[in-house]
Amino acid sequence: MARDFSTVGVIGLGTMGAGIVEVFARNGFDVIAVDVDDAAVERGRTHLQHSTDRAVSRGKLTPEDQAALIGRATFTSDLGDLKDCQLVVEAVPEQLDLKKEIFAKVDGIVAPDAVLATNTSSLPVTEIAVATNNPKRVVGMHFFNPAPVLKFVEVVRTVVTEDEVFEDVTGLAQRLGKQPVVVGDKAGFIANALLFGYLNHAVSMFESRYASREDIDAAMRLGCGYPMGPLALMDLIGLDTAYEILDTMYKQGRDRLHAPSPIIKQMVSAGLKGRKSGRGFYTYA
Ligand code: CAA
């Protein structure tokens, strides 16, 4: 029988994780939201509050529905609280060793038939899976930022993912209002493999002073009809995350397009990580 996934866990409450918590809570699931310490947990809670406040002020959500939605999310810094989850989605920073460590721990906490998913966008899902004692229950479940808005999930199937696990996760993505696509375990999957060469090229145009940030973004927004320009999108994704994705794709043998433009690392070192830090290519209030 297909898993119903009534209680799900999310580990890592950064931009993606917090968005994924909102997606589940909006769709009626109980969510256990975990991060490493009280400050990170509080950031996750605040994110959900602010994001749903915005929806209320735009008349898209009633205050009663907001209260019910927030009530479905439990925030904690204890991984042990994930024990009753039928699915856990990991969304911690793109560092392989960190993800492997978390999967090894969670593998020992949840029930044997629970599904473990990683939201990684560039790291090998198979490597993460084999850090557990039960790799056949591990899949990739890659959401897009902002997760509550974009209706697309890449479901990554490794050579050992069990058929039922994969089918249940694909069905779940549909219940969340997302179109799932099936991809193999290759860095960048479909969307990022296509997107990040383009973003990196835009950064290098800016870095060489070939054109201004506004003009680069206007070219793609107004000239090509994209919802936002590449430098604004880098700020939305987060320059630290974008750097890690590019670096991983480059190291895994994709072409020079993915060698991260030097300015990305410099901006990250200087704390200019994009929207999340208040400044990236643009400054945010
Ligand atoms: N969280 C939740 N909801 C958000 C949001 C956020 N961060 N940002 C915007 N929204 C909601 C708004 O509340 C609004 O909702 P309603 O229509 O229900 O009122 C809706 O989205 C539209 O927002 P706006 O009117 O403010 O702005 P917009 O129409 O310009 O859309 C956008 C904003 C959705 C971000 C749009 O510009 C867009 O789709 N940009 C491209 C994003 C993109 O390419 N993402 C992929 C990044 S790559 C990735 O994620 C993969 C990876 O591994 C890094």
Decide which of 1.10.1040.10, 1.10.10.10, 3.30.930.10, 3.40.50.300 is the CATH code for 192-277: 1.10.1040.10
* pLDDT on residue 1: 74
**Does the beta carbon of 145 sit less than 6 angstroms from any atom of ligand 1?**
yes
pLDDT at 134 over 70: yes
CA-to-CA separations, 49 to 27, 45, 54, in angstroms, rounded:
16, 6, 9
**Does the beta carbon of 221 sit less than 6 angstroms from any atom of ligand 1?**
no
CA of 61 to the centre of ligand 1 (A): 17
pTM of the prediction? 0.94
Residue-wise pLDDT tens digits, 37-95: 999 999 999 999 999 999 999 999 999 999 999 999 999 999 999 999 999 999 999 99
Q: Across the chain, what does the average pLDDT equal?
A: 96
Q: What value does the mean pLDDT take over residues 113-129?
A: 96
**Does the beta carbon of 93 sit less than 6 angstroms from any atom of ligand 1?**
no
Q: What is the DSSP string of 210-257?
A: SS-HHHHHHHHHHTT--SS-HHHHHHHH-HHHHHHHHHHHHHTT--GG
Q: Both ends of the chain: CA-CA distance in Å?
A: 49
Confidence of residue 254 (pLDDT cuts 50, 70, 90): low
Confidence of residue 183 (pLDDT cuts 50, 70, 90): very high
ipTM over 0.90: yes
pLDDT at 23 over 70: yes
* pLDDT on residue 112: 95
Q: What value does the mean pLDDT take over residues 217-240?
A: 98
Pairwise CA distance, residues 280 & 31, whole Å: 31
**Of all atoms in ligand 1, which is nearest to the CA of residue 145?**
50
Q: Which of 62, 141, 149, 181 to mutate to test the pocket of ligand 1 (most atoms within 8 A of CB)?
A: 149
Q: Which residues touch 183 (CB under 8 Å, ≥6 apart)?
A: 140, 154, 155, 156, 157, 189, 190
Q: Which residues touch 178 (CB under 8 Å, ≥6 apart)?
A: 143, 150, 151, 152, 153
Q: Where are the domains of the chain?
A: 7-183, 192-277
* pLDDT on residue 256: 87
What number does CATH give the domain 7-183? 3.40.50.720
The least confident of 1-15, 71-85, 100-114 is 1-15
**Of all atoms in ligand 1, which is nearest to the CA of residue 148?**
2
CA of 104 to the centre of ligand 1 (A): 33
Residue nearest to atom 39 of ligand 1 (CA): 227
